[in-house]
Amino acid sequence: MDTIFALASAPGKAGVAVIRVSGPLAWEAGVRLAGSLPEPRRTAVRVLRDRQGGVLDEALVLAFPDGASFTGERVVEFQIHGSQAILRAVLRELDAVDGLRMAEPGEFTRRALENDRLDLTQVEALADLIESETESQRVQALRVFSGALGQKVDGWRRDLIQAASLLEVTIDFADEEVPVDVSDDVSGFLDRVTLALEAELRGLDAAERIRSGFEVAIVGAPNVGKSSLLNALAGRDAAITSEIAGTTRDVIEVRMEIAGLPVTLLDTAGLRETQDPVEKIGIARALDRARTSDLRVILVDDRGLPEITPVEGDIVVGSKADLTGHANGLSAVTGQGVDRLVREIGERLSERVQSAGLATRERHRVAFEQGKTSLGAAKDLLTRGSDCYDLAAEEIRSAIRSLELLIGRVDVENLLDEIFSSFCLGK
């Protein structure tokens, strides 16, 4: 195994930068630069020197033994001053050490997986944690990174192994005095795991929304105040406002946080009959995004509803309350009703994420669906009697393989490059 090194903190000028070295030669490289290392998992200040004995920097140094580091290997971390010149100099010295090389993107985390420090769901959660922008994203990623999903999968896997074992011992000792009818016990295991998989599948859509964000479309007739509302919610001039109808031709997106959730607000073209071919395209796009959005805010004025039919879950609110005088209306000019609308959007979306499970990705959905399908087939074969126990056991083993693929216990090489390529160099 090569010894690798890289910047583990964000690039750019900073107060402190962290350089991580991992592998069998990590401690030797640390001694070469720092003269000596502190006791494992303790910090000490050391003067880092180059090959000629010149001072590079004064750094805080940490050393981790095998099995006690993030990667599971010997690790040395240098916390240096965040000057780009210092950073380049230290990296240059490490590159000159025989047996060391610059890490590839995601290689530290990949080694953590290979050394059983993380399972595959934790690796994905670490990427989500690094990318998290809202409180709900942080909490969700941290839950999965703690190993909660992997622990669930381990429990399901144990139940299924026990179920398969009951069937196999019946097959192996069919001619001897062992209980022949184990179908009730096996069915109990299968039912328990199937119900758990179904619960995770029901919560997957909400969990995906927390990770990727909700879309809230603002729709209405031209000049009803959609762009003004978007600007008021965003706190900046994100969209052009004008008294000229049809100013907004394309969908304008603004990402923000509402009730701790990631939300993308969509300002759409005004809905009306028009002969302008460009405006027609904008209206068609507006209707498409409105149909696929998670929530629609329909603005209305004295002209009534626009060219769209409200459905259950839509928020319909009167616009331009500063002109109409409606107490329950909304005005992007004065701010009346804006806070109330934000609260309502937050409440509607929060209701949808209450059922969120631990699974967050399409890969998880596929694994759960495949496992559920295999368990359904096994249950059906059980009802046909002991002559089909061998086939039922194989279906159970297929379900186990689906769950093992989820956490990275079987051949996942085809997945690894795609997953780890999204990581930064120091991870």
Domains of the chain and CATH, by start:
3-115 (3.30.1360.120), 131-209+361-407 (1.20.120.430), 226-302+318-348 (3.40.50.300)
Q: Residue 117 has what pLDDT?
A: 92
pLDDT tens string 295-325: 888 888 777 666 677 778 888 888 888 777 7
Which of 61-65, 198-202, 382-386 has the weakest average pLDDT?
382-386
Query: 149 - beta bridge partners?
Result: none
Q: Which two tokens stand for residue 155?
A: 């429990």
Q: Is there a binding annotation on residue 267?
A: yes
* Amino acid at site 385: G
Q: Is there a binding annotation on residue 231?
A: no
Q: Is there a binding annotation on residue 245?
A: yes
Cβ neighbours of residue 204 under 8 Å, at least 6 residues apart? Answer: 357, 359, 360, 364, 365, 368
Q: Is there a binding annotation on residue 223?
A: yes
Q: Is there a binding annotation on residue 269?
A: yes
What is the three-class DSSP state of 130?
helix
Q: Is there a binding annotation on residue 154?
A: no
Average pLDDT over residues 324-348: 85
Return the number of other C-beta atoms located less than 10 Å from residue 329's C-beta. 19
Task: Return the axis-axis angle of helices 413-420 and 107-114, rounded to nearest 10°.
Answer: 150
Q: Is there a binding annotation on residue 286?
A: no
Q: Which two tokens stand for residue 94?
A: 């490490």
Report in angstroms the alpha-carbon separations of 54 from 33, 97, 98, 189.
10, 16, 20, 66
Q: Is there a binding annotation on residue 328?
A: no
- Average pLDDT along the chain: 84
88 burial (CB, 10 Å; 0-12 / 13-18 / 19+) is exposed
* Amino acid at site 126: L
What is the three-class DSSP state of 363?
helix
Q: Is there a binding annotation on residue 161?
A: no
Q: Is there a binding annotation on residue 150?
A: no
Q: Is there a binding annotation on residue 152?
A: no
132-142 in b/e burial notation, b at 16+ Cβ within 10 A? bebebbeebbe
Q: What's the pTM? A: 0.75
Q: Is there a binding annotation on residue 246?
A: yes
Q: Is there a binding annotation on residue 3?
A: no
Q: Is there a binding annotation on residue 414?
A: no
385 burial (CB, 10 Å; 0-12 / 13-18 / 19+) is exposed
Q: Is there a binding annotation on residue 268?
A: yes
Q: Is there a binding annotation on residue 248?
A: yes
pLDDT tens string 206-237: 888 898 889 998 888 777 778 888 888 877 66
Q: Is there a binding annotation on residue 228?
A: yes
Report in angstroms the alpha-carbon separations of 134 from 140, 143, 149, 261, 341.
10, 14, 21, 6, 20
In the predicted structure, residue 364 carries a pLDDT above the cut 60: yes
Q: Is there a binding annotation on residue 117?
A: yes
Q: Which of 204, 233, 270 is nearest to 346 (CA)?
A: 233
Report in angstroms the alpha-carbon separations of 203 from 11, 147, 292, 408.
37, 18, 19, 22
pLDDT tens string 62-88: 999 999 999 999 999 999 999 999 999
Which of 96-105, 119-128, 405-414 has the weakest average pLDDT?
405-414
Q: Is there a binding annotation on residue 216?
A: no
pLDDT tens string 136-187: 999 999 999 999 999 999 999 999 988 988 888 777 655 555 555 778 889 9
- Which is more confident, 78 or 352? 78
